[in-house]
Structure formats: C-alpha cells, structure tokens
Chain A
C-alpha cells in the first residue's frame, strides 16, 4: 500500500486532512441553528451565509479538485484548448448575475430548496419537475465520483496505492456531511481555499524561477507541440478549434449554475446583495484557475512523466497525476505535503455540497412528491441525510467497481444534459411563454441530440506519421465535427451548445403546437413581485395568511 513514500510529505498531508475532518464535525455547532432537523438548516445552512462565507463556499464548490488536476492535464496534453476554463469562468458571472438574484428571491419567498421545486411551482408540472430533478442527480453523480479521481491522483503521486485510503477518506466525509450538513463544507472551504491560494501563488513564482523563466517554459511547450503529430494541439488555438473554444466556454458557463450544487450555494446566501457581490468577487478563483492551467506547461518543461506512463507498452499513463508529480518534483517535502493536501481537501468541499444537492433533489422532488406526501420537516431532513450517504457510496462504487473512465465520460455528458434544463429553469425565471409540455418535448429532444452527438465523437490519437488512430469509438470528447452534418470543414463545435439549440427550437415549436391544440397550461404559483423580493420581505412560510 505504501511504496516509496516520503514520510514528511505524507505526515503533513495526513495532519491537514485530519484537521479539516475534525472541523467538519465541529461545524454542526457553528452558527448554531435551533434545530438541524430541517432541510433549510441541514441542506442550506439556514439560508444565512454572508458575503465571505458564500465566497468561500461557492468558490470551493465550483472550482473542484478534479478541475485542479484535469485542466492542467488538458493543457499538458493539448495546449491552448485547455485554457477554455478561463473564458468559461469569466463569462459565467456576468451571464448569471441577473438570473440568480431572481431565483434567490422567488426561492426565498416560497422556500424552494432545489431548482426542481421552482420548476414545479412555476410551470405547474410535477412531470417536468421530476425530469429536472433526475437530470440534476444524474449530472451530479459522476461529478462526485470524479472528486475521488482527484484524491486518487494525489495519493498516487505520494506513492500510496490501493483502495483503503480512499475508502477511509470518503467514509469520514460521509460521516461529517451527515452530521453537519452544508455547514461542514462551508467551514472546510475556508481551509481548502486558503491552502489552494497559497500553493498556487507559491507555485507560479517558484516553479518558473526554477525552470528558467516563462520563455523557457513556453519554448518547451512549443517544441513539444511542434514535434507532436496532432494537428489540433499548440500554444495557440489551431484555426478550426476557435469555434469549439468559444462555444465550449459559453456552453459550460450556461451549464455551471444549472448544476444543483451551484444552486445550493446560491440559495444558502443571506440576501441578494451577497450574490451580486460574489458575482464580482468569485473571478478571483478564475485567476487562480488560469495560473493552475499554466502548470500544465511547467510540467512539460520540467519533463514530468504521468504515473503509469510506459512508452514501450504504449501506455499513456494517468495524465491527471501531472500536477501532483510536478509539486512532488519541485517543492521540498513539507510544502509538497501542503500542496497535496490542498488538492485532496479540495475534493471534499465539492463532494459534500454535491451530495447534499443531490440528496435534496431526491427528498423534495421524489420522496415528498411521490413517496411520503405529508413528510414533516424532520422527515425531510432525515431523508436527505440518508440520501447523501447513498449518493456517496454510489460514487465510491462507481470509481472502485467500474473503470473511472466511465465517470469521466458521464461527467462530459453531465454538462450537456444539465444544459437541457435551461429553458425550464433559467428561461422559466423570465417567461411563462413556454408550454409545460413544450418544455418537456424540448428537454427530450436536447437529451436525445446530446447523447447522439457524444456517441458520434471518437477519441483520436495520432501516429508519428500523423495518421489518426481511434483510441475509443464513442464518447471521446465534446467537440462535434461539423462534417457530421455534411459540411466540408475541419471546424468542431461544442455538442452541448448544439443540443441546447435543438432543445430551444423544439420547445418553441411544441409550445405553439400545444397552444394551438388547446392543451391546458399549468398553473403558476409565483407572482411577478416575488422575483424581486429581498431578505426583509415576507416568506410564505412565516406568513401563512398571505397564501392565496
């Protein structure tokens, strides 16, 4: 289980890991609630988080351990295209700025916990709400599993192998999430983010200095890509890759705040201004992510070899290990221990929030809707707590029992399928023009298209002669070549973006058709003024007499 480990490194790692675990349990007492046995408390931290906590929480939630290993790995392997994470996380905040405050307001008034709660009330359709809930759960599950891939990459780089450590780590995580709810990741996020900021800032100062400066780093990257037979890689984008770069950034940005765990972070905030302030402050993480992406190039210059790489056997190795290996090579033992802990702890925060979000969807939109219609708040909280355990065990089994590639493929599709809830959730915040059955038809069409498109995309490598070799027939990426539509071009486009367009077109056409055939609309339980409500405005729960 432990071959070749650096004792100092692993000690620092373990100490930090244990410290945040303790913090996770203590969190139950932090900003103590009268009663944790309520979904507003367990699942949304009492809807009371101010600007700072929200900043750490959402930052810790969106910028996950997997992001931290996968983005530099993509830059290491393909170059400029991997940098899409930066425009993606620049445009997301201005795009959602006005949308999220509406969602917050209407959720505040009605006590919505999940996006599917909103859909149910707004469109008067429990079927549509169920589809949104299931889509959210399916999109989130592989994302949780990938956090384990992040921890695994760190453990591998430290020379720790076998499944026991990861099972222990996840068991601890499951226990304190069960115990403390959203307060646990909120408190741990402070430590996680502080560590990440320190590590990355040190890394981008120390490593380029050791490697002979940025000129040398980018020189090495250019040399690597010039020698590579792949026409798509490079330090800048190949011409045809630009459309994919832009649509991938834009599509991913539209998807990000449709994920249930992002919405959980938003709904946990105290008032509208907290959200607005955070939309301006969260890009600090994007800056860190951009610097992190550049670690991919530093790894090229430093001659990092991914763990498992074997040229003779044609094994590419686990490219997710390049950042941990780079830290291991570049830093003294104690600091690389800190760096590894930053990534490892970085997996815990999003994994906790994602499992809470998935559990809330289960409770509110399946359990209460179909199984126990008269559930008390206490039963709701209990159901969510248990569901959060099930979700984590599922993620663990998916990683240990199945090929992790399965989770990676699913997560790729996850972004595409969660986008299909945009008309019902995001557009639904603005308009009731879409017919509920139109929204369902659009969702189905977008899903079908998304699966078809990703099924068509092979994973391709290139022989030294530049001949394409198909590594994997299907689900090899998210860039759909436009040749699929008979266009004579080398341009690709993000499949999720096209799937959304298909969804919207079908949505609109079906709406017109359903209206024409006089299929009744659903009832809207929300009022226009509720989309602008703030903290001091009455909630339906507190003022039962204003319910009509």
Chain B
C-alpha cells in the first residue's frame, strides 16, 4: 500500500471549493424576486416583459453554470 500513499493523500486534499461557485447564485437572484419582472412592458414582439424576461433568464442560468463548469474542471 505504501506506493499508493501520495496519491491517496492527494485525493484526501481534493475539494469542490472555488470562488467561481458564487456565480451559481446569479440565476436565483434574477428569477426568485418577482417584483423585478412582474410587469407587461416593455413587450417583445407582443410578448409581455414578464414572459420574455424569464425566458431570457434561462440564458443567465446556462451561462453561469457553464462558466462554473469550465472553471472548475479538473
């Protein structure tokens, strides 16, 4: 087992900590406070703000998770 110890020690030190993880909060802030978007104007192609904003917020969700994934790959 002796030759496995350095690797085992390396494993024991691993963690998922990263400052990039804070970015995961962004989609929550953008969508879980309805007064932020609960209105009809400005509309987009006749779609009220309430709807197109939240559809657009999907991109915020994708963007943040994607960045966190890329930055924390090991």
Chain A contacts to B: CB under 8 angstroms: 80, 83, 86-87, 90-91, 93-95, 97-98, 101-102, 213-218, 235-237, 242, 245-246, 249-250, 273, 276-277, 279-281, 283-284, 286-287, 290-291, 294, 528-529, 532-533, 537
Contacts and interface: CB of A to CB of B under 8 A. Distances in A.
Nearest to B28: A91
26 contacts: A83-B51, A86-B54, A86-B55, A90-B27, A90-B54, A90-B61, A91-B61, A94-B25, A94-B64, A97-B24, A213-B45, A215-B46, A216-B46, A236-B38, A236-B50, A237-B34, A246-B32, A277-B69, A279-B65, A280-B69, A281-B62, A283-B58, A284-B62, A290-B55, A291-B55, A532-B14
Given A98-B16, A215-B46, A218-B47, A283 B38 contact: no
Given A214-B45, A250-B32, A93 B61 contact: yes
Nearest to A214: B46
Given A235-B50, A236-B39, A532 B11 contact: yes
Contact of A287 (B35, B40, B45, B58): B58
A294 B51 contact: yes
A529 B69 contact: no
B47 to A, nearest CB: 5
Contacts of B46: 213-218
Contact of B11 (A215, A279, A294, A537): A537
Interface in B11-47: 11-12, 14-16, 21, 24-28, 30-35, 38-40, 43, 45-47
The interface residues of chain A, by DSSP majority, are classed as helix
B41 to A, nearest CB: 10
B15 A90 contact: no
Nearest to A250: B32
A294 B48 CA distance: 11
Contacts, number: 123
Interface in B53-74: 54-55, 57-58, 60-62, 64-66, 68-69, 72-73
Closest 3 CB pairs of A and B: A214-B46, A215-B46, A94-B24
Nearest to B74: A534
B34 A246 contact: yes
Nearest to B23: A94
Contacts of B48: 218, 235-236
A87 B62 contact: no
A528 B32 contact: no
A214 B73 contact: no
A242 B38 contact: yes
Contacts of B73: 273, 276
Contacts of A287: 55, 58
Contacts of B60: 90
Nearest to A273: B73
Contacts of A250: 28, 32
Nearest to B31: A87
A532 B15 contact: yes
A532 B13 CA distance: 9
A80 B54 CA distance: 11
Contact of B62 (A86, A215, A280, A532): A280
Contact of B35 (A242, A276, A283): A242
Contacts of A216: 46
Given A98-B21, A242-B34, A273-B73, A286 B58 contact: yes
Contacts of B11: 529, 532-533, 537
Contacts of B51: 83, 290, 294
A217 B43 CA distance: 13
A290 B38 contact: no
Contacts of B34: 237, 242, 245-246
Contacts of B62: 280-281, 283-284
Interface centre among B51, B55, B66, by most chain A C-beta atoms within 10 angstroms, is B51
Contacts of A532: 11, 14-16
B7 to A, nearest CB: 10
Contacts of A280: 62, 65-66, 69
Contacts of A91: 27-28, 31-32, 61
A537 B14 CA distance: 12
A205 to B, nearest CB: 12
B52 to A, nearest CB: 10
A237 B32 CA distance: 13
Contacts of B31: 86-87, 90-91, 249
B35 to A, nearest CB: 6
Contacts of B15: 532
B54 A87 contact: yes
